[in-house]
Amino acid sequence: NGNINQFGDYDQCLSVRHDQLGISGQYCLALIFVELRNSGDDPNLATVLDLAQSYQAMPSSFGDKATILPTFSTVSWGVCVPSGCSSSDVAMALTTALHSHNLTFDIHVEVDQDSCEVYRPRKLLQGGAFITLSIILSVFLIAVAGTFYEFSQLDKCGNAQKKNHNFIQKVMLAFSFRKNTMELLNTHTQKDEILCLHGIRFVFSVIIYVLHRAIFNMFWPATNRTNTAQLLESVWTMTFRSVWNNVDTFLVLSGVLTSYYTTRDLQAGRSLNIPAMYLRRYIKLVGSYQF
């Protein structure tokens, strides 16, 4: 089915421990790259390898670094070895075990030390995890406080009272659940707004989401990659395959909006502050990237 990865049992391997003998299990994930020496000698074997590698729908070469995309050319094998073994020992043992097949195939084995794990008691909160959770909790508490503050400022009819807020109150209101929910569900449009862009953005957002879900599903051990590769070659999936064009659409939309509002400001006689415009874009993009 195009998925010959064997990840083994990670938890079972790390649970192997004998304190008196000082023996513990170590889980290593080996990457094995397989290719035929001469595909013309045995076309049947070439067909089998082609099916095993899902028609090379996402090809890779030996030595390629890991990416967010699944690699069909590389086989991932999980092995359980004693913790005293190094990654080079595991690579040498697998190379020796597969040596008999090297008459037909070129087999390369790579085991990175970072891909080997041994059991270590871990604390729930330490280092970066503690900082990250602290930031998330702080933002959540500010949002809760802002929501309560906003409700306290409503009149009997549920409308917000017009009031001059100080800086801290404005920050709290900016995180309010009520205010942001109403903004997200607000269908009011401005007079000079380009309405068709909302539909374009929605359509391409759905396409990119579906494509990413399909890509990540290929990492699952039970996924039939061969059928998935055949499905992606169908005519009706062409829209989803053009991933780079779909992503570039948002760059085009950003350029259209920037040009549109810049032209509007110039026609209104307002001057442009180019450094401030780049600074706003930088803050907006970096903030979204961080979260």
pLDDT for the residue 59:
67
What does the domain layout of the chain look like in residue ranges? 10-118, 123-188
List the one residue out of 245, 213, 227, 240 whose CA is nearest residue 72: 227
Cα distance between residue 141 and residue 172, in whole Å: 10
Q: Which two tokens stand for residue 149?
A: 């503050």
Helices in the chain by DSSP H: which ranges?
Answer: 10-14, 43-52, 87-97, 128-152, 167-174, 177-184, 196-217, 225-232, 238-241, 243-267, 274-290
pLDDT band at 63 (very low <50, low <70, confident <90, very high): low
Out of 49-58, 180-189, 255-264, 266-275, least confident range: 49-58
Q: In angstroms, how far is CA 242 from the centroid of its own chain?
A: 18
Residues in CB range of 38: below 8 A, 6 or more apart: none
Q: Which two tokens stand for residue 254?
A: 């950003």
Mean pLDDT of the 51-75 span: 68
Mean pLDDT of the 129-147 span: 88
Give the pLDDT confidence of 196-248 residue by residue, as tens digits.
Answer: 888 888 888 888 888 777 777 777 766 777 777 777 777 777 766 666 677 78
List the one residue out of 39, 59, 58 whose CA is nearest residue 48: 39
Out of 11-25, 29-43, 110-124, least confident range: 29-43
